[in-house]
Every structure is written in structure tokens, then in C-alpha cells.
């Protein structure tokens, strides 16, 4: 499988020496990431077991009302995701990667439809007890604003608009890390969670950049609406201070922007977020591209210097990059994480 990492290009016929050099650098980054996963799994299987939080009850729930009190934990990370339609396997792999990569307690909130809820619950119940003791699961039905419900349901992809309304859907939550289900953690989630403490008093959301290239960037070439910065931001990995977002009136901006630009936006939920931060850039914290490493960062040349220097922290396989064969390296990393079992203790 690691041999697949020898080619991270979509099309690169007769590349220039500079392009070839950058492509080699990109392949090296992804090969190193895959090797790191392999060594990390070996360490978990045969090495010292990680510290685990002590809890007083079972932590797999169907509904939030079922949540029982737990002992105090030194560190808790809250991850939210949307799992609809045929994306159950992606969601399970995302959760598995987060748990494999850290020993902190993780509180998962999943917004699900009828098709996925039963499969998720049945599968997770079979995970080992030592894994279940390090997590909680709160599954909630997907829901939309009462006004224009049908429009929000079909915004871009099924359930995609739910992420825009997390401040009201998670009223009791202060902060959350939202991730698209086609993401894989290649480092402890704590790495990105710690950016909450780096945000200043005005910043309410943290996001990573889209493709940072004048010649290949989609937004700077094709967008007919405002967007953040020179190249825009990607909405696949969002660190949210929900308390600040509620005070800002986030969802009112979402509705107004959609009304004003609905005939000009293509990537819908991501475009709405970009438009908001175009007009309120002081509200956004931008973390490096290796916290949301997307396929365009390595399709032909390397466009994420931080990944070359520090490695990839979160891999985001949008455009079905984990499923199709356009970027074998990304598919190999995802498949490795999907197939590795919870074997230790």
C-alpha cells in the first residue's frame, strides 16, 4: 500500500524540473505521513499503553438525555460532524483516526439521518471498552431553520448546511471542532484544539486556506462573489467558539448572505462562510494549511509548505479523494486508517 505513495499527481506529463522537484517533495510528505501512521499503530499495538481517563459510566449514547455524569477529565475535546446518506464508513473512520491519534477524552456529536444512526450506533457499540471509556457519543437528528427548510436541506450537498447552524443546534456548548466526515486525523486532535487559546478576543472561528496559487486557485479565477483574502478559506475543518458566534449573531448573517448571494454562490455553505469573513476579517483566525490538508495542495506541485516542514495534521479528502484513484497516496492513507482494528487492550 505504501508503494502507492510514489505517485501523488493527477496529471503531470512532461513536467518541468521545478515542477518535478516540487512533486517529489509532495510525495515525500505523503509517504512520510503514511509511514508515520504505520509506526504509530505498531507502537500502539506492541508498546506502552496510553493514559486513559477514568470514567464512571458507559459512554455510548443514542440521545443527549442519556448522558450520565463522568469523573473530571484533565482534557476534553469536542468534535462535531454530519453523517448522512452513504457516508457512514467515512464518519467511522474519522472517529477512529481521532481516537487512535490521542489518549484525551473526546466528546463526539454527530448529526445523522435515519439511514445512518442505527449503523453508527451498532458499530460503535462493538468497539473495545478501553476505547469507549475515552469517548462519548451524542447522536442528534439533522435539523434546519424553520424558514426555508427545503432550501437549506438541498444547499450544495445533503445535510451540508447543518454546519452553518451549530451555534443554535449546540446551545449548551461553548466550543467545538467541526470536521467534514471525509477527514482523517494524522496527529492528536489536541494540536488543533489548542488554537482556541491562540485566538484573540475578536476572533470567533478558525479555518484553513483554500488553494494558495494565483494560477490554479478557484476563487480568484471564477468566484463572482466576495471571499476571504486572496484565495479564500476552506470550510472542511472549523474550530468554533460557539459562545462568541452567538453573541456576534452568526446565523442572522448566514441567512442574509444566502438571500443576497444565492444566485452567485457555487460551493454554497463554504461560499457563505467566505462572504461573511470577507466583510468581517477581524473575526477569523487562520491556521496553517497542514491543519486542513486538501487534495489541491498536492495534485501536481506542493502548495503547503507547513506540511513539508511539520507534516500533515488533518487530511481532508474532498472530491472523493479517499475513494477514487486520482491521488493514490491519499486513498492509501485513508484505507490504512479504515482497516486498522482496535487491537490494543
User: Among 174, 165, 169, which Cα is nearest to 197's?
Assistant: 174
Residue 97, C-alpha cell as written in the block: 483516526
For the chain, how are helix, strand and coil distributed in percent, rounded to 5? 45, 15, 40
Q: What pTM was estimated for this model as a whole?
A: 0.81
The H or E element that residue 97 is part of is helix 88-100
> pLDDT value at position 151?
77
- The CA distance from 233 to 188, in Å, is 23
The H or E element that residue 185 is part of is strand 183-185
- The CA distance from 41 to 337, in Å, is 9
> pLDDT value at position 35?
54
- The CA distance from 145 to 143, in Å, is 7
Q: What is the 3-state secondary structure (H, E, C) of 141-186?
A: ECCCCCCCHHHHHCCCCCCHHHHHHHHHHCCCCCEEEEECCCEEEC
Upper half-sphere CA count for residue 67 (Cβ side, 13 Å): 15
- The CA distance from 142 to 210, in Å, is 27
Maximum Cα interatomic distance, the chain, rounded to a whole number of Å: 61
What are the residue ranges of helices labelled H in the chain? 17-46, 88-100, 114-125, 129-132, 149-153, 166-169, 190-193, 218-222, 242-248, 250-261, 269-279, 305-310, 328-339
- The CA distance from 90 to 180, in Å, is 9
> pLDDT value at position 22?
52
- The CA distance from 5 to 32, in Å, is 9
Q: Which residues of 179-198 are buried (b: 16+ CB within 10 A; e: fewer)?
A: bbbbbbbbbbbebbbebbee
Q: Which residues pair with 343 in a beta bridge?
A: none
CB-based contact 323:299 (threshold 8 Å): no
CB-based contact 266:306 (threshold 8 Å): no
The 8-class DSSP code of residue 293 comes to: B
Q: Are strands 76-83 and 175-179 parallel, antiparallel or unpaired?
A: parallel
Burial of 138 (0-12, 13-18, 19+ CB in 10 A): buried
> pLDDT value at position 66?
41
Mean pLDDT by 10 residues, the chain (345 residues): 36 42 54 55 42 32 39 74 93 97 95 91 94 95 82 76 95 97 97 97 97 78 89 95 98 95 90 97 97 88 90 93 90 94 63
> pLDDT value at position 43?
45
> pLDDT value at position 61?
46
Q: Report in angstroms the alpha-carbon separations of 249 from 162, 171, 175, 268.
A: 16, 13, 16, 19
The three-class DSSP label of residue 16 is coil
Amino acid at each position: 500500500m505504501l508503494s502507492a505513495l510514489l505517485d501523488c499527481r493527477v496529471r503531470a506529463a512532461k513536467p518541468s524540473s521545478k515542477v518535478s522537484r516540487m512533486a517529489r517533495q509532495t510525495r515525500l510528505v505523503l509517504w512520510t505521513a503514511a509511514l508515520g501512521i504505520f509506526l504509530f499503530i505498531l507502537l500502539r499495538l506492541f508498546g506502552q499503553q496510553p493514559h486513559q481517563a477514568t470514567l464512571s459510566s458507559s459512554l455510548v449514547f443514542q440521545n443527549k438525555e442519556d448522558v450520565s455524569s463522568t469523573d473530571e477529565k484533565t482534557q476534553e475535546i469536542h468534535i462535531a460532524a454530519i453523517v448522512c446518506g452513504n457516508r457512514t464508513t467515512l464518519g467511522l473512520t474519522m472517529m477512529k483516526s481521532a481516537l487512535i491519534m490521542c489518549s484525551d477524552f473526546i466528546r463526539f456529536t454527530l448529526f445523522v439521518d435515519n439511514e445512518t444512526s442505527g449503523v453508527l450506533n451498532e458499530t460503535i457499540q462493538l468497539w473495545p471498552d478501553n476505547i469507549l471509556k475515552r469517548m462519548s457519543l451524542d447522536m442528534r437528528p439533522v435539523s434546519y431553520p424553520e424558514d426555508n427548510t427545503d432550501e437549506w436541506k438541498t444547499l450544495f450537498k445533503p445535510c451540508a448546511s447543518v454546519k452553518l447552524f451549530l451555534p443554535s443546534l449546540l446551545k449548551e456548548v461553548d466550543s467545538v471542532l467541526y470536521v467534514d466526515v471525509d477527514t482523517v486525523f494524522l496527529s492528536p486532535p489536541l494540536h488543533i484544539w489548542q488554537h482556541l487559546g491562540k485566538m484573540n478576543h475578536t476572533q470567533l472561528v478558525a479555518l484553513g486556506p483554500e488553494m494558495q496559487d494565483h494560477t490554479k486557485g478557484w476563487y480568484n479565477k471564477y468566484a463572482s462573489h466576495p471571499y476571504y483574502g486572496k484565495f479564500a478559506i476552506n470550510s472542511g475543518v472549523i474550530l468554533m467558539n460557539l459562545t462568541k458566534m452567538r453573541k456576534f449573531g452568526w446565523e442572522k448573517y448566514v441567512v442574509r448572505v444566502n438571500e443576497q448571494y444565492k444566485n452567485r454562490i457555487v460551493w454554497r455553505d463554504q461560499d457563505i462562510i467566505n462572504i461573511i469573513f470577507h466583510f468581517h476579517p477581524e473575526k477569523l483566525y487562520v491556521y496553517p494549511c497542514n491543519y486542513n490538508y486538501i487534495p489541491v495542495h498536492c495534485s501536481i506541485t506542493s502548495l503547503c509548505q507547513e506540511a513539508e516542514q511539520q507534516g500533515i495534521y488533518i487530511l481532508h479528502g474532498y472530491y472523493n479523494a479517499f475513494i477514487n484513484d486520482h491521488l493514490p497516496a491519499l486513498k492509501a492513507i485513508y484505507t490504512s486508517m479504515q482497516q486498522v482494528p482496535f487491537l490494543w487492550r
